[in-house]
């Protein structure tokens, strides 16, 4: 068996003497025209950096979204603080026994007392 | 059209002279077709694949860096088309089992017409050509690609590395493995060859 070097030399010599066949003559006809027909059907070459307009739009959209986000955060931030204030007031109200809670009276006796006070107040006004 | 570089033609095409693409097709069709043939072993399929490559090259012409060679870029597209062909056919050359009949596959055909050759050698050369064509067809895809580009299409190692998208050292490794695989495949016939 030939060693690697002599085999390679022999192979290169052989391939030079017997190159790969050329494409058959009858198949060569119309090759370029077929490619050009397909190229014409495909339209003009795709422009480079087709995405160039996209960053402009993306930038504008991104800026808009960022603005909206900032606005939303601010609104939600102020909303949070108003909610916190409300909770704070409610806690103060709960803590103050002098302010009616609006809860239903615990008992029928209490309800009757409440109605009597209400009637007296109405009579006093009239 | 002598004297006009590929870069100039490409510039004209991108500038709207699209019909000038015929110049590039005419210039490289034979080599692109032969390259695809070396990889798939069938003239008809090779024609389709090389034409697909030309269409893809045209569509992406604006991406072509003009500091590079159009031919190398085109050959790379051809190689990728052939890879896709094998993928779609689920017919990877590296997985084709050894066949006792080389004609069962698509062996590459060599041009054995040699008027100066000894007629008594013709039969042996014919047999060897058939075996060699089949053995090339059984190489793994990367080895086969490197072998076809370098040994059958006459491209330099640097050109092969650019067409395959790998380093020159890797190309050398693929070529070494390819030629060793061919040497092993053809050992019985080579003995006859060196002794005649």
Q: How far apart are CA B73 and CA B194, in angstroms?
A: 39
Query: H/E/C letters for each residue in A44-80?
Result: CCCCCCCCCHHHHHHHHHHHHHHHHHHHHHHHHHHHH
> Which of B170, B162, B157 has its CA nearest to residue B67?
B162
- Cα separation, A46 vs A18, in Å, equals 41
Size of interface A-B (CB pairs under 8 A): 109
Chain B residues in contact with A2 (beta carbon < 8 A): 183, 190, 194
Q: B70 in the Ramachandran plot: left (φ > 0), alpha (ψ -120 to 50) or beta?
A: alpha
Q: Do B37 and A23 touch (CB under 8 A)?
A: yes
B163 CB contacts (<8 Å, ≥6 apart)? B72, B75, B76, B79, B149, B155
* CB distance A14 to B133 below 8 Å: no
Q: Which residues of chain B have pLDDT under 50?
A: 93-104
Q: Do A23 and B109 touch (CB under 8 A)?
A: no
Beta-ladder partners of B110: A20
Nearest to A11 among B30, B34, B179 (CB): B179
Fold of B97-196: Arc Repressor Mutant, subunit A (1.10.10)
Q: What share of chain A is helix, strand, coil (3-state, %, to 5)?
A: 70, 0, 25
Quote the ipTM score: 0.78
Mutate to test the interface with B, among A9, A32, A48 (most CBs of B within 10 A): A32
Cα dihedral sign for A81, A82, A84, A85?
Answer: positive
Which candidate from B14, B37, B190 shows the least CB-CB separation from A45?
B14
Establish if A17 touches chain B: CB-CB under 8 angstroms.
yes
Report how far residue B48's alpha carbon sits from residue B81's, in angstroms, rounded to the nearest whole number: 10
Which architecture characterizes domain B1-91 according to CATH? Orthogonal Bundle (1.10)
Indicate where chain B has its CATH 1.10.1740.10 domain(s).
1-91
> Taking CB atoms and an 8 Å limit, are B60 and A42 in contact across chains?
no
Q: Which of A13, A21, A38 is the best residue to mutate to test the B interface, defined by the most B CB atoms within 10 Å of its own CB?
A: A21
The Cα B126–Cα B144 span in angstroms is 21
Q: Could you list the mean pLDDT of each consecutive 10-residue stretch along chain A, which spans 126 residues?
A: 82 89 86 91 68 65 85 69 66 55 53 64 58
- Name the minimum distance, in Å, from the CA of B71 to any CA of chain A: 16
Distance from CA of B87 to the nearest CA of A (A): 23
- Beta-carbon contacts of B177 under 8 Å, excluding residues fewer than 6 positions away, are B140, B143
Structure tokens at B41: 């072993």
Predicted pLDDT at B45: 93
Max Cα separation, chain B? 61
Instruction: State the DSSP string of B52-70.
Output: HHHHHHHHTGGG--TTS-H
CA angle, B42 as apex, B128 and B177 as ends, to 5°?
55
Q: Compute the distance between CA of residue B46 and CA of residue B54 in angstroms, rounded to an integer.
A: 12
Task: Give the list of residues 6+ apart from residue B136 with CB closer than 8 angstroms, or none.
Answer: B38, B107, B108, B144, B147, B148, B182
Please check whether residue B50 is in contact with residue A28, taking contact to mean a CB–CB distance below 8 angstroms: no
Residues of B in contact with A18 (CB under 8 A): 110-112, 114, 125, 129
Asked if A7 lies within 8 A of B37 by C-beta distance, the reply is no
* Predicted pLDDT at B102: 42
Interface check A8 vs B, CB under 8 A: yes
């Amino acid at each position: 068996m030939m060693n690697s070097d002599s085999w390679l030399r022999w192979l290169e010599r052989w391939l030079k003497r017997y190159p790969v066949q050329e494409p058959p003559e009858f198949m060569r006809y119309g090759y370029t025209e077929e490619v050009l027909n397909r190229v014409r059907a495909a339209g003009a070459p795709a422009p480079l950096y087709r995405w160039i307009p996209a960053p402009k739009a993306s930038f504008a959209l991104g800026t808009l979204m960022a603005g909206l986000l900032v606005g939303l955060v601010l609104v939600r931030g102020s909303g949070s603080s108003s909610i916190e204030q409300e909770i704070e007031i409610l806690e103060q109200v709960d803590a103050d026994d002098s302010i009616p809670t609006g809860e239903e009276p615990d008992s029928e006796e209490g309800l009757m007392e409440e109605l009597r006070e209400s009637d007296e107040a109405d009579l006093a006004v009239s | 059209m002598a004297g006009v570089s590929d870069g100039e033609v490409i510039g004209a095409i991108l500038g709207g002279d699209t019909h000038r693409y015929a110049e590039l097709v005419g210039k490289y069709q034979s080599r692109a077709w032969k390259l695809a043939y070396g990889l798939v072993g069938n003239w008809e399929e090779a024609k389709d694949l090389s034409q697909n490559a030309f269409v893809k090259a045209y569509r992406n012409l604006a991406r072509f860096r003009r500091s590079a060679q159009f031919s190398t870029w085109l050959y790379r597209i051809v190689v990728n088309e052939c890879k896709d062909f094998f993928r779609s056919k689920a017919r990877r050359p590296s997985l084709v089992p050894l066949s006792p009949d080389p004609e069962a596959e698509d062996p590459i055909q060599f041009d054995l017409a040699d008027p100066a050759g000894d007629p008594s050698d013709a039969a042996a050369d014919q047999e060897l050509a058939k075996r060699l064509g089949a053995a090339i067809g059984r190489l793994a895809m990367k080895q086969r690609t490197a072998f076809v580009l370098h040994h059958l299409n006459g491209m330099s190692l640097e050109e092969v590395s650019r067409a395959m998208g790998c380093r020159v050292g890797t190309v050398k490794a693929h070529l070494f493995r390819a030629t060793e695989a061919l040497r092993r495949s053809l050992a019985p016939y080579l003995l006859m060859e060196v002794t005649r």
